[in-house]
């Protein structure tokens, strides 16, 4: 399906109970959302994405257009679910959530093309996830999800200027690593104790994070 920049008509139709409009929203948003969550929770991204879409399905009837549109709204829900997931994972083993309800929403793209693209995506997300958390989230939201600076700032609860700076610094770090170089902020940098390689750890939600 071709990229649709303005999802507002479909969001409002889905809020009114249009199932086909909801399918369009899922197909347009899910790929970027899943890549974003992969950068946050690694292999548990599909579980968190399923939880996210269940909440979206529950809350869609109350959807109201705000800054950033539907993509920002859905991504905010995903981020809060990821934060909750990481908090719960620290307390007890994760319980996989069935995703059968979304199987019929999958698109009809060539599986071989998807597999090839998936390999490239996993490598890119793994590289982005090695960035400092603020830069990783900014790059994921701006480049992977495709949000503009203001929408990404809304999701993160930060000023647009801070998101713009974090994105720029993150992309510079990535460019340096791809070129085989380093920068003064990454040389000899060691990951914090207990942090898994390639996974961006999120802090627990604060009042600014809360919906």
Class of domain 1-104: mainly alpha
Q: How many residues does the chain have?
A: 211
Domain range summary for the chain, segments of one domain joined by +: 1-104, 109-188
CA 127 to chain centroid: 15
pTM of the model as a whole: 0.68
pLDDT given at position 103: 41
Q: Does domain 109-188 have CATH number 1.10.260.40?
A: no
Q: For tokens 């960035």, name the residue.
A: 131
pLDDT given at position 183: 53
pLDDT given at position 38: 92
Cβ distance 176 to 182 under 8 Å? yes
pLDDT given at position 123: 82
- HSE, CB side, 13 Å, CA atoms: give it for residue 7: 27
Q: What is the C-alpha separation between 49 and 38, in angstroms, rounded? A: 9
Sign of CA dihedral 8, 11, 15, 19: positive
**Mean pLDDT per 10-residue run, the chain (211 residues)?**
88 94 95 92 92 95 86 95 86 49 45 50 84 92 91 94 94 85 47 42 43 42
């Amino acid at each position: 399906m071709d990229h649709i920049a303005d999802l507002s008509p479909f969001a409002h139709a889905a809020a009114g109970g249009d199932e086909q409009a909801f399918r369009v929203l899922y197909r347009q948003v899910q790929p970027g959302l899943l890549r974003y969550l992969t950068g946050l929770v690694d292999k548990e991204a599909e579980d968190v994405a399923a939880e996210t879409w269940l909440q979206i399905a529950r809350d869609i009837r109350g959807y109201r257009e705000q800054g950033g549109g539907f993509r920002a709204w859905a991504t905010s829900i995903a981020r809060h679910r990821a934060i909750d997931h990481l908090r719960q994972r620290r307390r007890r083993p994760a319980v996989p959530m069935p995703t059968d309800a979304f199987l019929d929403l999958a698109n009809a793209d060539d599986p071989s093309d998807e597999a090839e693209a998936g390999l490239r995506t996993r490598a890119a997300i793994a590289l982005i996830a090695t960035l400092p958390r603020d830069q990783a989230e900014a790059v994921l939201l701006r480049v992977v999800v495709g949000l503009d600076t203001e929408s990404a700032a809304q999701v993160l609860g930060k000023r647009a200027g801070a998101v713009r700076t974090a994105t720029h610094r993150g992309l510079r770090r990535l460019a340096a690593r791809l070129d085989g170089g380093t920068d003064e902020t990454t040389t000899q940098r060691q990951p914090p104790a207990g942090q898994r390689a390639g996974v961006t750890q999120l802090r627990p939600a604060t009042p600014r994070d809360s919906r």
